[in-house]
Structure 1
Amino acid sequence: MLRPEIALEELFVDLHTSGHWADGKAIADSVLLSDPAEILAAYREAKAVGPVDLSAFYDAHFRPVRTPDESFRTDPRHGPLEHLARLWPVLIRAPDRPDAFSSRISLTRPYVVVGGRFQESYYWDSYFSHLGLLRTGQFAPVRDMLDNFADTIRSVGHIPNGFRTYLLSRSQPPFFASMVRDYGRATGDLQSVYAEYLDAMRMEHRFFLQPQRTVNGLAHYWDEEETPRPEMLGADLELAERVEAPAALFRNLRAGAESGWDFSSRWLSDPSELATIHATDIWPVDLNSILFVTETILSEAASDDPDLSRRYRAAADARAEKIRAGMWDDEKGYFFDRRISRDTLSDRNTAAGLFPLWAGVATQSQADRSADWVRRTLLAPGGLLTTDIESGEQWDSPNGWAPLQWIAIQGLRRYGHDALADDLKRRWLNTCDLIFRKTGKFVEKYNVLSPGDAAGGGEYPLQDGFGWTNGVYQDLSLEETPAAR
């Protein structure tokens, strides 16, 4: 598999730092038109003669990634659900043929892409996409997701952040076991589905228990590498000029990307300065809640082996107790991340604090107080705020994201806070409807403080498509009144 950032050496850096490309991912995803060694040799020969026109050199030796969904057009006669029914086939790709001149990781079964600049499968996006696919009876794409993921776990030990070679060194929030359970329940064949994927679920669980990823029984995000992210190399190099320890910065940027919250004041010492990121030094409340669910599912899936089942149940119980005791702020009445080196609670108020409710970790009293806290601090006109800090990062106010709305709604319902959950659902769906009526699109994130305005922030422009928004919208819209919207 091609690692362009390695094979192209200084050419890769020069392309990123040239200023000709607004989005570095376009470079990392480009298809090489010949062997990388030949392209690098041609570049060095050209440089030996004089300055190189990098735009012209790129055009001669590379091809931009193709985005088939660019040709899709909204039919103005269609409402949101009709639009999404037409859109899923556009976001499903045929199996890949191995390509020695591309960073794409080939998959042997069809797969769902996110949309926009993300023309490959991404891990935690797939979980929220699969909600809509299951809700609309599209079981085959979900089965293909599971098989692709299981094959990848068996070959590399984990599911990568996304299916590009430069994303292999990290994963994302580990929803694989939850996907397996959802699929088994939807198809009515849970135990046989568990049996088929048990080895892959166990292997992924072990990945998150590695010593570099788990401290004192709680997991944190990590990345095996401490170099600039190849998809944002120019931006990372520029940021590194402001710190004394670039390697630590790069690893923390990568760990922040593994969290899926790239980026947020949640990970920053100074909410206005990305260079203060310290994601590897935080026990995230959401990650550990997801792993609690994984351990609970593994205990169920291993029911034919009582000793193994008990071990997973004990692991889940121990993790739950650590979350309830160590990530709960009794004064505020809400769950927070915890700083590892200081062994103190974070002061960042985030929607991640509702994951213990979704997971079933919280006590009823904790859930009751959490619902009140969220109603007072994070509930906005258009949905749930990601955080209450406006930092300019995309995983902060005023933005709301579909996965966090869904998690919050399920968690609140689990503890009997149906009125708040229904209110949040209504606000979120209305926000999606408003933007759809204005633009004909479903987008990756929304401005929930001012629902009619576009969301912004982060490292790239607002993207449409958009897998997890589509899936959450369908799941929430169709759960009670299939023909209502």
Structure 2
Amino acid sequence: MKFLLNIDKVFHALLLQEDTDQDRKITKDDKGPKKFVLVDETSKQEVAIIGTYHLSNLLQELAQLKEMNLGMGEVDLSRIQENPVHRISRKIKDDYWEELTRTIDKKGLGQIIEDEKTSSDVATLYVAAKDKQGVAYFQELEKELSNFKVEILPENYSMEYVETLNEKPGILALALEQKTYSLQGVPFVVPGGRFNEMYGWDSYFIGVGLLIDGQVNKAMAIAENFKYQIIHYGKILNANRSYYLTRTQPPLYSSLLIKIAKKKIPSLDWLRSHLETVILEYNTVWMVQGNRLTPTGLNRYKADGIGMPFEVEPGHFDDVLEPYAKKYNLPVREFEKQYLQRTLIDAELDVYFVHDRSMRESGHDTTNRLINRCANLNSVDVNSFLYKYEKDVAYLIKEHFDTAFQVGDVVYTSEEWEQKALSRKNKMNELCWNEASSMYFDYDFVNHEQFPFQAATTFFPLWAGLCDENQAKKLVEVALPQFIKTGGITGSTKASVANASKEAPQRQWDYPFGWAPHQMLLWEGLINYNYLDKAQEMVYRWLWLITKNAVDYNGTIPEKFDLEINSHKVFAEYGNVGTKFDYIAKEGFGWVNASYQYGLQILSEELKEKLGELIFPDTIF
């Protein structure tokens, strides 16, 4: 049934009555009557819209009609009454992915460079010198547009050179492709909110969601941009901003290729070119001794760079800088200024920031697990990812290239990659597995001991298929209960952060916060080892939390949740992206969107139905 309404009139009347806190949303926190009567302009038929969820749906539908500049418009009551599970999933598939899609080309450049991270009237676009096509394209575009300039990155830039770019930070070019009439940017999908660039490990999880929603070409485009970054910037970047040039991200490129290959392989040449790049990344980014490869034979996160990370907000490191400011008898701001300008150098503080940048490379920024020690750790997460790389390369060579794959003069066999994986598995079992705790711990190769911080990364070996049956059983039966809250698993156990400094910020990747990638990797790990009922339970917990939050808070899908209170209202460093919008959530948040679609694929029909009914008690009439 559709009601013809005066859009502006109803929109403002609804807000006046129901948005009592005037945050341009209708949520459970508003104190209105929670009942609004609609009158059809033609038939004069009336219908009462009752309850937070239905009222916020009405607001969203009206907001969409307002954007179309309609004076009179029809509101479909079936959309107001829509099952929340169906509504969230539909909007992710039909709206959110498109809203989050970007290109770096003539058409899409404005959306990229005119964001809150652009600090001057003229934005800078950096292009790699060896991308001859990109240099020519963007230099021509520079002549047409007045609000951006092109800078060419030298082929072999140093850390010192990258530091100089902080005076004129900018976006990094990504891949172009030839279309019928012109060059166009290869699309990518951003996380959302202030994260308006292509992030490394976010893009893998986003790719999983895109494949589920039938957007295979966009998932392949992510792989193309991964390939471009490795070739032109030497690594898959933390994100494509100038100040991330010295940092990579958790290695998930091969996992994306496997997911794509199981859906569709456009050609063997396409797969070959990407497998070559995966092997190139593995050899040059991860397996260089003394950099990210350590004497144990296992890996670590180890970002290059000098001084403080550029991207943090002013004052973020004050608790770290204060003791050093006192040491040099300087006010904190003056010490910070001199340290950033390198007129004052402190070797101990430099080491702290080596660990800090490496922690940011891990994607887990920040956590008490990695602060001031990250570069000393053979972490469970990176070694699980690299084990999966080795297994994936072996699989792709065996299944698609008849067990042998030639790159230049080197012939790789599936068997040698299986041996690499077996060696890593044995080393992880020797150094990282703790039988008494039934968990994997990061190994401190400097101090030759495990660092017994109980983090959700302990479940990554389940996802990678690295555990034996005994280890899997212990992880599921002993370790997992220590992480479970009503809405999923927390980033660490409560015990692990019990002794954290009360003066330090609450670290967002620790207890009590819950993140989509941790849930998704856990679910797949449980399925790998045939813990199917437990997988159903864990999926349900997380989807219940997302759905409940969206129902209570005007469709909000945030970056993360506080699992202690089952809410997006997070009081930790960096706040919570995806919660600031007017009237209608247009994009959700990348990997949470993906987790919803992925979870619905796993969840039984019975639990999907329960999910909709459990938090859908109101009646519309």
* Shared fold, TM over 0.5: yes
- Indicate if the aligned counterparts of 2:569 and 2:576 stay in contact, CA closer than 8 A: no
Equivalences for 1:16-415 in 2 at 5 Å? Answer: 79-85=87-93, 86-96=95-105, 98=138, 99-100=148-149, 103-107=170-174, 108=176, 109-187=186-264, 193-206=270-283, 207-211=285-289, 212-215=291-294, 216-232=296-312, 234-235=314-315, 238=318, 239-243=320-324, 245-268=348-371, 277-303=372-398, 304=401, 305=404, 308-309=412-413, 310-389=415-494, 390=497, 392-415=506-529
Q: 1:395 to 1:110 in 2, by over 3 A?
A: same
Q: Which digits, 9 at most, give the CA deviation of each residue in 1:409-458, with x for residues without a partner?
A: 11112112222221111100000011111221211111122214623312
Report runs of 4+ in structure 1 exceeding 6 Å deviation: none
Identity %: 25
Decide which structure has the larger Cα Rg and report it: 2
Structure 1 residues 192 and 476: alpha-carbon distance in aligned structure 2, compared to 1, 3 A threshold = farther
Q: The residue matched to 1:400 in structure 2 has which SS?
A: strand
Distance 2:479 2:433 in 1: 14
CA distance in 1, matches of 2:275, 2:528: 26
Is residue 385–residue 464 contact of structure 2 (8 Å, CA) maintained in 1?
yes
What is the CA-CA distance between 1:478 and the residue it aligns to? 3.0
- Contact residue 398 and residue 455 of structure 1 kept, 8 A: no
Q: Number of paired residues?
A: 406
Code of the aligned partner of 1:255: S
Q: Hey, what's the Cα distance between the residues in 2 that align with 1:358 and 1:231?
A: 31
List gaps (5 residues or longer) in structure 2.
1-65, 69-78, 107-137, 139-147, 151-168, 177-185, 325-345, 406-410, 501-505, 580-587, 613-621
Deviation for aligned residue 1:100: 3.1
Partner of 1:56: none
Report the counterpart of residue 73 of structure 2 in structure 1.
none
Q: Comparing 236-245 with 443-452, which one deviates more in the overlay?
A: 236-245
The residue aligned with 1:426 is 540
Change (3 A) 1:190 1:425: farther
- Equivalent in the alignment of 1:446: 561
Q: CA deviation at 1:134?
A: 0.4
Gap change, CA 1:292 and 1:419, over 3 Å in 2: same
RMSD: 2.4
Separation of aligned partners in 2, 1:76 and 1:300: 48
| Offset, 1:263 | 0.4
Determine if contact 2:236/2:248 at 8 Å carries over to the other structure.
Answer: yes
Q: Equivalents in 2 of 1:371, 1:190: separation in Å?
A: 40
Greater fraction strand: 2
How far did residue 476 of structure 1 move? 1.1
Moved more, 82-91 or 307-316: 307-316
The two structures have a TM-score, normalised by structure 1, of: 0.79
Superposed CA offset, 1:28-51 (max 9, x none): xxxxxxxxxxxxxxxxxxxxxxxx
1:468 aligns with 2:573: no
TM-score between both structures, scaled by the size of structure 2: 0.62
Q: Which residue of 2 aligns with 1:33?
A: none
Alpha-carbon distance in structure 1 between the residues aligned to 2:187 and 2:67: 19
Encode CA deviations 1:326-368: one digit per residue, 9 max, x unaligned: 1111111111111121121111111100011111110100000
**Secondary structure at the residue paired with 2:193?**
coil
What are the superposed Cα offsets for residues 120-155 of structure 1, whole Å, 9 maximum, x if unpaired? 010100111111110011111111111111111111
Work out whether residues 488 and 542 of structure 2, in 8 Å CA contact, stay in contact via their aligned partners in 1.
yes
Task: Look up the SS of the partner of 1:154 in the other structure.
Answer: helix
Distance 2:392 2:510 in 1: 31
Residues 181 and 190, structure 1, Cα contact 8 Å, conserved in 2: no
